[in-house]
Amino acid sequence: MNSFFSKLQHNYYEIFKVVLFLLAIAAVVWVSPKERFFKYEIQPGKPWKHNDLIATFDFSIIKTEDELAEEREIILKNFVPYFRYDETVGPAIEREVEERFAVEWALIDSARQPKDSLRYVRFLKRTVNKIMNKGIVMYNPVLEGKDKSYRIRLIRGNEARNVVLGQLFDIRSVNDYVSKQVRKLNMPDSVMLKRIIIQSLVQNVIYDEDKSNADREELLKQISPTSGLVQRGELIIATGELVTPEKVQVLKSLKREYEKELGSTEAREYIYVGGVLLVTLLFLIQFLFLRLYKKRFYAELRYIVIILLSEVLMIFLGIFVFNNFPHFDYLVPYAILPIVITAFLDGGTAIIIHLVAVMILGFNAPNSFEFFYAQFTAGLIAVFVVKDLSKRADLFRTSLFIFLTYMVVYISMLFVQEGSYTSISFKTISYLAGSSVLLLLAFPIIYLYEKIFGVITQLTLLELSNTNNPLLRDLSLKAPGTFQHSLQVANLASEALYEIGGDALLARTGALYHDIGKMENPLFFVENQVPGYNPHDELSYEESARIITGHVLTGIEMARKAKIPEQIIDFIRTHHGTRRVEYFYRLERKLNPGMEVDSSEFTYHGPIPFSRETAVVMMADSVEAASRSIAEPSEQKINDLVENIIGDQMKDNQLINANITMKEINTVKKVLKKKLLSIHHIRVAYPD
């Protein structure tokens, strides 16, 4: 029992990775539809390659989207909207007419006969009652472009009847009607009477939006999604028979019913177990690929989390769209997965992850082969074009290339299936274009991942390596000698990493920041000193060593305050490893002969380099600094300098934790010698 717990304790990191994969499998199985897969591939325009297909149960033939759209269009074209007659406004208008007339009549000469007043009032009431009883329709967009013969349903009280617009007044026709009635009266006050009527009228036939929408929805619901019936035992399609558009609909109808029909409880269990095994096998292949061929990524838990999180989220999104919005399946930017993985890991890993994701999604996609072919080729193009995502323009270029890939696949499939281009769908093309544009969401996703997981990309390294960065700008102003030294180390390290196949940009960026701690006391470092003055002359050797070694800790504090990523801070920590400040250590021993000198006071705190990049920066830093002290540089002197310094570092076990081989170290030496010869303008001595 103790041995079991001991093994568990020693392998907990490995076990946790396995648990993460199991959780990913469980999540994918949970969201995947629990239904059977149709075992026949439907290929429009080609002969049926399978055996004769006979219906084993009755099923209805579903209509095509075009058929359903045509029926919806007919219903909407013939739909009669509802308008409601407002009974409440009539009495109010009648009172208002009387009040307006009383005011207007009082302003007229009092010599007029009272009988004229009564006559006018009766005329006004009669005219207004006729108009309001007939109804004045209020304008609504549903009436746009409609003539007088257009039918509407007029609700008046509890009764709804069909009327045409010509039976109702509108603003123009009511004005004409009032003018005509006033002229018939043939009285001198016609202008006043018309004004009173027009100013008092109110539109009382109003569009009933709620009733119209409800009735419209009810009519649309009555559209049958099916047309025709295939009975059990009926031959659906024979071997060699051409798969026509009509047969395609029958086969799609069979596929839909087949996948919905689960059968017995035992059948459900088999379907569930089969789905679990299919998903598990794909994730197992992915697990073994990472463990055997991508050990660098498998070793770090955060890379495993990035892979599984991105993959599962993409599968979730795809299945959600398939189940709820199948007509938008081409709008989903599936190629964003390999782009994100390439940005944080590499192209080979991105291809495998994308392959697994689209295979799982292909089980649930409406057209499995077409979906898989389109998305997998788009993912490959994304990996090939985006490379290491070192420029923001890479993503825009990738978006364009993926759209072109989608178009080639779509048109090719159309030619193969239809044998013509007449059925090309501009809606589908717009979805493919939208999917390509949505790939630009990779920008915020990559930024978010960098903040959450503490992983940096080439884009971030490029931003950090800009010498106008505030920290590097301060270094160039406060310690110009150190800044020039850092630039030289960056050039040396990046060139060496390029030759041995490491991350040259990471090393270059780390080298630019490795000595930023010297900004606190720049004059205590020889590259910043002026002739004739050395502040170390006023200090003890221990104090001098403490200042020299302290620039590492100071640099770490400065970098963290400036929110520099930890991967860059690693170069500050490790560029001196655990070596001694030999100059002051030897002076201290010489000053105190025979006495025990505490070497820890003269030793850097470390740690030693633990990656190929940090190891190369240590070598480049030491060699570049030492090369400045050569009085008369020559090829032999530089050769001996490089060999001695790197040899001493290896003797001091400074490189034992770095994943760098002897062959790579020798390559680094050659690069450093060649670059130093160029820096010091020394010609290589060629044999006679």
DSSP codes, 395-453 = HHHHHHHHHHHHHHHHHHHHHHHHSSSTT--HHHHHHHHHHHHHGGGHHHHHHHHHHHH
Q: What's the pLDDT at 312?
A: 93
pLDDT attached to residue 34: 65
- Residue 655 class from Cβ within 10 Å (0-12 exposed, 13-18 middle, 19+ buried)? buried
Q: What angle do CA 461, 464, 467 make, to 5 degrees?
A: 130
The angle that helices 635-651 and 612-627 make with each other, rounded to 10 degrees, is: 140
The pLDDT, as a whole number, for residue 2 is 55
Q: Is the pTM of this model over 0.75?
A: no
Q: What confidence score (pLDDT) does residue 57 get?
A: 75
Asked if residues 509 and 461 have their Cβ atoms less than 8 Å apart, the reply is: yes
User: What's the confidence (pLDDT) of residue 315?
Assistant: 92
Tokens of 29: 């199985």
Find out whether 354 and 402 touch, Cβ atoms under 8 Å.
Answer: no
Q: What is the pLDDT of residue 298?
A: 87
The pLDDT of residue 570 is 92
Rounded to a whole number of angstroms, the CA Rg of the chain reads: 42
How far CA 454 is from CA of 306, 514, 568, in Å, comes to 11, 19, 11
pLDDT per residue over 390-414, tens digit each? 666 778 888 899 999 999 988 888 8
Neighbouring CB atoms inside 10 A of 191's CB total 9
- Which of the 8 DSSP states describes residue 169? B
pLDDT value of position 262 = 53
**Rounded-to-integer distance, Cα 654 and Cα 607, Å:** 9
Intervals of the chain under pLDDT 50 = 264, 686
- Tell me yes or no: is domain 458-679 CATH 1.10.3120: no
- Partner residues linked to 205 by β-bridges: 85, 137
| Cα–Cα distance measured from residue 166 to residue 173, given in angstroms and rounded to the nearest whole number | 9
- Please report, for the chain, the start and end positions of each structural domain, with discontinuous segments joined by +: 2-35+265-453, 76-219, 458-679
